[in-house]
Amino acid sequence: MTKKEIRYKRMIRHLTQTVWSIIDSEGMDAVTARKAADLAGYNVATLYNYFENLNHLIFFASFRALKDYAMALPEHTKGIEDPVLIYIKTWECFNAFAYKEPLYYKNIFLGGHTAKYNQSLQLYYDVFPEELPSDGLQFLPMFREGDLYERDFKLLSAAAHNGSFGMENVRDISNMNVVLFSGMLNRFLTSEWNPGPEDAAKATTRYQARTLMAYGISKELLEDYL
């Protein structure tokens, strides 16, 4: 890397860590451009040399919530060969961490930042390489996809290629399971439905497993999730 690139990444890291400190002490709603810039030791104009706006900065900082999920997923799916089980176990792992950090996951995946996701995530892991597990490289194509619908479609397509159901059904299954997740997470956040993170995650995974059953996947294969 050139000295300019090194300085750029150091500044991104510094600004991001500054936002984390505000969120950890005061909450996400307390983050303002002025507060972040002042705490980082720069003016607001400097902040906007690195991020488009405050929402972009908070979105970028939200990626830290993916660390535990990224670290856990390879172990959670270790030794599993059936693509349907890989699919539902991936959702099980994702749901477990999403309900622990619902504001972050909503901001990342349901906050309308899809167009910025790929470039931002690539930069994030360039700046924070320690947050991506070395044994999770097989999941990189999925992690690089910020659109939950496309992310789910790519993962589920392996099951269709394996003959579990027709490729023509993949999009419908993906759409239904993403809608299930987004709807239930939003209800959880508004306290319209709040059984606790663990029970919420289990309920979401259970409904997603039932979607698979509706398309011919055997109850026996999914019995651990029902």
Closest listed residue to residue 207, CA positions, set 85, 92, 108: 92
| pLDDT for 139 | 60
pLDDT number for residue 108: 92
- What architecture is domain 3-50? Orthogonal Bundle (1.10)
Determine contact, residues 201/95, Cβ cutoff 8 Å. yes
The tens digit of pLDDT for each residue in 111-157 reads 888 888 888 988 998 899 888 766 655 565 666 667 888 889 988 99
- 9 pLDDT band (50/70/90 cuts)? very high
The gap from C-alpha 137 to its chain's centroid, in whole angstroms, comes to 16
Helix (H, G, I), strand (E, B) or coil at 191: coil
Distances 196 to 182, 192, 204 between C-alpha atoms, Å: 16, 12, 12
**Per-residue confidence band for 24, with pLDDT thresholds at 50, 70 and 90:** very high
In the chain, where the domains are located: 3-50, 64-225
Q: What angle do CA 59, 197, 25 make, to 5 degrees?
A: 50
More confident residue, 1 or 68: 68
Give the pTM.
Answer: 0.90
- Pull the structure tokens for residue 104: 């972050």
pLDDT per residue over 34-72, tens digit each?
A: 999 999 999 999 999 999 999 999 999 999 999 899 889
Is residue 218 predicted with pLDDT exceeding 60? yes
Q: Is the pLDDT of residue 175 over 90?
A: yes
